Amino acid sequence: MSNTTVILAHGLGGRTDLPVPLWIALTAGTAAVIISFIFVAALWTEPRLRGAAGGRAIPAAIETILDSPTTRAALRALGLAVFAVMLAESWLGPSASNENPAPTWFYVWFWVGLVFVSVIGGPVYRLANPLRTAGTIVHELIGRPEHAELLAKLRYKPAVLGLLVFLWLELVSPHRDDARVVATFITVYSLVNIAAGAWFGPKWFDRGDGFEVYFSLIARLAPLGRRSDGRLVVRNPLDGLLAGPADKGLTPVVLTVLGSTAFDGITRLGFWSKMDSAAKASELRPWPSILLGTTGLIVTILLIAGLYASTIWAMERFVKPETGSAFDLFVHTLIPIMLGYTIAHYFSFALFQGQAGYRLIWGDSTIDYTVVGTATIAFVQIIGIVAGHIVAVFSAHDQSVSVLRPGFIKFGQIPMMGLMISYTMVGITLVSAG
């Protein structure tokens, strides 16, 4: 047991004590991706995933309970109650995060915890989202039209912007762990989304609320989903990836989150620590450090996006003309990678810093760092990254069989294989080179 160390800026991404040497981890991870590509290319010669049509219906009695108006109302009430408690504590409690549990609730329990809830239980946050509930109530009270055409033109730009602001707060802001700063962000973000929901209607939250969009993407991998006939089903997570829409503008959402986790890892590297220390030593502090962090975050996101865009550009010539732009056709294949990166960068953060979320309620400022060993953390990090890429390989291959021109299915996937290998190597290096 030891005193609480507030590390809300990042997941505990960098570990130098891998259970195996870095070169072995890189070789094994790369080999796993390559072997997966070879395996599916040889044995998976036609589309097998059914998307929204897949899944086995759960017993009617269980479905009735899970899908009942009472259950939905209970989730909405729970979402509003939790939101109210977190907002009140962040505004009224102590401002220091080692005395106030609200920053931990927000960064760990909400941002990280709901990832695991979503990948197990599906789009739970969509049902419990307090902003959707409040915005829908106001929309119905004022009786506004839904402005569907304008919302369609916006695509997912508001969601990307909202996530960018949050990620800047989490990864760059020097006051990220101040409860008042957290309260200000939550309040402003909530008011903006409730107002937009009141104007556009409930469909706003499908595209405009960055948190709901993000958790809904993760929820595609859940074993519990809704089939195209409306039934709740137990399904292959790969079918779930295809079940959601491949709307234009959704790809930047995934690339933004991927880029942010890569930036999180970069900030653990020695060269970045030296630059950041020099920036913080400036007489103009904290602005040089803020500028450095903001630039680093944006550039990293653009680099990750550039790798994906280059891959799609190389594949575009092999895509059937009638299928449309390949840029959006493969967005669902990035979701397992996004989940793998999230597990790698936030696993130990959730285990350690997450304890403060309940300990601080009772005034206990200690954290037990012995709940899991460093070797286990490193193992989970690497497995998370590699497993995410292997699932992505299967998903990308099935999509390639559907959308690539006959005769070019294997050759046309070479750029995607290169992307998966690159992402794997970058991910393993960043979580292991602290």
Cα(49)–Cα(56) distance, integer angstroms: 14
Residues 299 and 290: their CA atoms lie apart, in Å, by 14
Order across the sheet with 56-57: list the strands: 56-57, 232-234, 224-226
Separation of alpha carbons 251 and 307, rounded Å: 13
pLDDT for position 433: 63
* Burial tier of 47 (Cβ tally within 10 Å: 0-12, 13-18, 19+): middle
Please give the torsion angle defined by the CA atoms of residues 343, 347, 349 and 354, in that order, rounded to the nearest 10 degrees.
110
pLDDT digits (tens), the chain, 434 positions: 444 444 444 432 333 445 556 767 778 788 888 888 888 888 887 888 888 888 899 999 999 999 899 999 999 999 999 999 999 999 999 998 889 999 999 999 999 999 999 999 999 999 999 999 999 999 988 877 767 788 888 889 999 999 999 999 999 998 898 999 999 999 999 999 999 999 998 999 999 999 999 999 999 999 998 988 889 999 999 898 888 776 778 999 999 999 999 898 888 888 888 888 888 887 777 888 899 999 999 999 999 999 999 999 998 888 888 777 778 888 888 999 999 888 888 888 888 888 989 999 888 878 888 888 887 888 888 888 888 888 999 998 888 888 888 888 888 888 988 888 888 888 888 877 65
| Residue 308: partners with Cβ closer than 8 Å, 6 or more residues away | 251, 255, 334, 419
For 322, residues 6+ apart whose C-beta sits below 8 A from its C-beta are: none
Whether residue 286 is preceded by a cis peptide bond, meaning omega within 30 degrees of 0, is yes
Write down the pLDDT at residue 105. Answer: 95
Residue 410, both tokens: 């294997």
The rounded distance, in Å, linking the Cα atoms of 164 and 166 is: 5
Number of domains in the chain: 1
**DSSP label of 346:** H
Beta carbons of 289 and 280 less than 8 angstroms apart: yes
Alpha-carbon distance of 204 to 148, in angstroms, equals: 9
- The helix/strand/coil state of 53 is helix
Domain range for residue 305? 2-432
pTM, two decimals, is: 0.90
Amino acid 124 reads: V
Q: How far apart are the first and last CA of the chain?
A: 23
What is d(CA 372, CA 354) in angstroms, rounded to the nearest whole number?
13
CA neighbor of 416 nearest in space, from 300, 306, 314: 314
**Could you tell me where the DSSP H helices lie in 155-286?**
157-171, 179-200, 204-207, 210-219, 237-243, 251-266, 270-280
Q: Which helix (H) or strand (E) holds 87?
A: helix 69-92
CA distance linking residue 91 with residue 177, whole number of Å = 13
Give the number of other CB atoms < 10 A from CB of residue 371. 11
Longest CA–CA separation in the chain, Å = 67
Q: Measure the CA–CA gap between 295 and 273, rounded to whole angstroms.
A: 15
pLDDT attached to residue 129: 97
Interatomic CA distance for residues 255 and 277, integer angstroms: 28
Contact 135, 202 (CB under 8 A): yes
Element at 367 (helix H, strand E): strand 366-367
